[in-house]
Amino acid sequence: MKCVLSFLIVFFTLFAGFSQTALQQFTQNPALKHALIGISVKDLSTGKTIVSHNEEKSLTTASIMKLVTTATALELLSPSFRYKTTLALDAQDPSTLLVVGAGDPTLGTSGFKENRNSFLLDWTKALQNSLTGIENLKLYVVDNLFGYNGISDEWTWIDMGNYYASGAYGISVFDNSYRIFFDTTNRNSCPIILRTDPEIKVLSFINQLQLNTTGRDNGYIYGAPFSYKRILRGNIPAGRTAFSIKGDIPDPGLMLGETLAVELSKRGINVSQIETAQNDYINRSCNNGQSQNNYRVGRVLHVHQSRPITDILRETNVESNNHFAEHLIRTIGRNQNQDIYSDALQEGVKFINSYWTKQNVSTSSLFLHDGSGLAPQDAASPEFFCDLLTHMYSKSNYSKEFYASLPIAGQEGTLKNFMSKTKYSGKIRAKSGSIGGVQCYAGYLIDGNKRYAFTIMVNKFTGSRAVVRKSIETFLLSL
């Protein structure tokens, strides 16, 4: 017995020493000289800490914040949850077709590699018999479920107007993003704007883009939600006949209404008027929500169901889909408070804090301003993430679904090249996060008897991102 105890003491001493040496090498990397580093590695079986460094410090999270959003959504809504968009006639005016949004971010999405118009074809086929013969058909798009703030107050100007910072509303279509195409073959002029896809007729651009010879896309679109004026800045590759960058659709509810009207016209059903619920929402908010809605759901003609939330969570984590994450946190919030005049984002933030506190996961280090991690003010500690990951692995009823939502290192999504051709390729499932000066990874390492939750957060590094990633890989290989 003494021999066994001695062996275990020596083993854990050597392991701890090896880990600490690797930790020291990691933190002393010249590329991280000015960086703030936080690390937490915990054994999933025992809950014991394997390695830690600044584990209680609140650090900028970038996209690993999506772990918090997706875990909470799964716990609250369950794996079978589906968004439901309702098409119905207005009980007060049967010549009005209502499109009642439920916050589904997947209508016409490119995330699932489907024809983006397939849902519209299904809708028009289902509607054709019921709408044929209605004169002066009007479309009223009820897109007010989350209100009309759409974005976090903490998002920066450089992000707003770009596809990765698209607004989240009760109606989403085409990922709430469009492509703008340029002819860049004339090196002596600014890029020439060719078109947008989908077409947004009233969208106007102040084009300040320049050309580069590096082949890199450094183009940005600046603009506020619901504004049809956009500024183009930065530079894009020269010598292209149809180079594109992606922006945020200013008014997705109106875009859906216009696109649906086009599809209905192909079936001989003409729409005379298209409105969204925005003006009604604003008028009612001025009266503290006391006035009546100017619509009432009557005969339901079609209900569109999204894929199950497990598919949405996987797209969110594997591809780091900001738009899906922003819809999820607002869905969490609206689930808790059905008043559409309450701030869905803030309701989601409030629930996340209270939920995880009740699960004995301390949120004292958590500063949450959105669902995606795009806000630079988003912060949490490595220990918080490890505790959340441990809970989801060991205590959640949906442990398998959450684990399956994460990309596999060396194989897919944002981790396709991470840990590739190493002993841990295929044995790590994790979420990455990166914004300016920030690189983070959080997830699971499962290799035989090794079952760890880990979080590595690097803030304010001055070396190259490639070097930082390589040093993180080297540290993980020491575990």
pLDDT tens track for 395-417: 999 999 999 999 999 999 999 99
Which amino acid is it at 421? K
Query: Has residue 13 got a pLDDT over 50?
Result: no
Token output for 195: 């078109």
Mean pLDDT value of segment 303-311? 97
**290 — pLDDT class (breaks 50, 70, 90):** low
Return the ∠ at Cα 292 (arms to 288 and 296), rounded to 5°.
135
142-201 per-position pLDDT tens digit: 999 999 999 999 999 999 999 999 999 999 999 999 999 999 999 888 899 999 999 998
Mean pLDDT for the stretch of residues 198-219:
95
The pLDDT of residue 6 is above 70: no
Q: Identify the pLDDT of residue 147.
A: 96
* pLDDT value at 315 more than 90: yes
pLDDT tier at 287 (50, 70, 90 boundaries)?
A: low
Give yes or no for a contact between 78 and 308, defined as CB atoms under 8 angstroms apart.
no
How many residues are given for the chain?
A: 479
With CA atoms as reference, report the closest residue to 384 among 439, 320, 455. Answer: 455
pLDDT for 260? 97
- Strand 59-60, strand 379-380: pairing: antiparallel
pLDDT for res 342: 96
pLDDT, tens digit (0-9, with 9 covering 90-100), for 430-464: 999 999 999 999 999 999 999 999 999 999 998 89
The whole-number pLDDT of residue 31 equals 86
Give residues with Cβ within 8 angstroms of 165, minimum separation 6. Answer: 151, 155, 159, 248, 322, 374
Amino acid identity, residue 294?
N
Report pLDDT digits (tens) over 118-129.
999 999 999 999
Q: Cα–Cα distance between 330 and 328 in angstroms, integer?
A: 5
Q: Tokens 């990309």: give the residue.
A: 407
Cα diameter, the chain: 91
Q: Would you state the structure tokens that stand for residue 119, as one six-digit string?
A: 């849902």
Compute the average pLDDT of residues 306-328: 98
Q: What residues are paired with 233 via a beta bridge?
A: 220
pLDDT in tens, 336-382: 999 999 999 999 999 999 999 999 999 999 999 999 999 999 999 99
Residues of the chain with pLDDT > 70: what percent? 94
Question: Each residue of 224-281: pLDDT tens digit?
Answer: 999 999 999 999 999 999 999 999 999 999 999 999 999 999 999 999 999 999 999 9
CA distance 163 to 154: 17
Query: Shortest CA distance to 373 belongs to which of 61, 37, 38, 59?
Result: 61
Compute φ and ψ for 86, nearest 5 degrees. -105, 130
8 Å CB contact between 34 and 461: yes
Planar angle of CA 217, 220, 225, nearest 5 degrees: 145
Q: Which long-range contacts (CB under 8 A, 24 or more apart) does 312-315 make?
A: 312/105, 312/106, 313/70, 313/73, 313/74, 313/401, 313/402, 313/405, 314/404, 314/405, 315/111, 315/112
For the cut 90, the answer to whether the pLDDT of residue 135 exceeds it is no
Q: Cα 343–64–15 angle (5° rounding)?
A: 145
How many angstroms separate the CA atoms of 125 and 113, rounded? 22
Nearest to 430 by CA among 416, 409, 404, 401: 409
pLDDT of residue 113: 83
Q: Is 369 in contact with 438 (CB distance < 8 Å)?
A: no
Task: Report pLDDT for 338.
Answer: 96
Per-residue three-class SS string for the chain:
CHHHHHHHHHHHHHHHHHHHHHHHHHHCCHHHCCCEEEEEEEECCCCCEEEEECCCCCEECHHHHHHHHHHHHHHHHCCCCCCEEEEEEECCCCCEEEEECCCCCCCCCCCCCCCCCHHHHHHHHHHHHHHCCCCCEEEEEECCCCCCCCCCCCCCCCCCCEHHHCCCCCCCCHHHEEEEEEECCCCCCCCEEEEEECCCCCCEEEECCEEECCCCCEEEEECCCCCCEEEEEEEEECCCCCEEEEEECCCHHHHHHHHHHHHHHCCCCCEEEEEECHHHHHHHHHCCCCCCCCCCEEEEEEEEECCCHHHHHHHHHHCCCHHHHHHHHHHHHHHHCCCCCCCHHHHHHHHHHHHHHHCCCCCCCCECCCCCCCCCCCEECHHHHHHHHHHHHHCCCCHHHHHHCCCECCCCHHHCCCCCCCCCCCCEEEEEEEECCEEEEEEEEEECCEEEEEEEEEECCCCCHHHHHHHHHHHHHCC
User: 185: which 2 tokens?
Assistant: 């073959």
- The mean pLDDT value of the chain amounts to 93
**Distant-in-sequence, close-in-space partners of 129: CB < 8 Å, separation ≥ 6:** none
* Per-residue pLDDT at 16: 47
Confidence class of residue 20 from pLDDT cuts 50, 70 and 90?
Answer: low
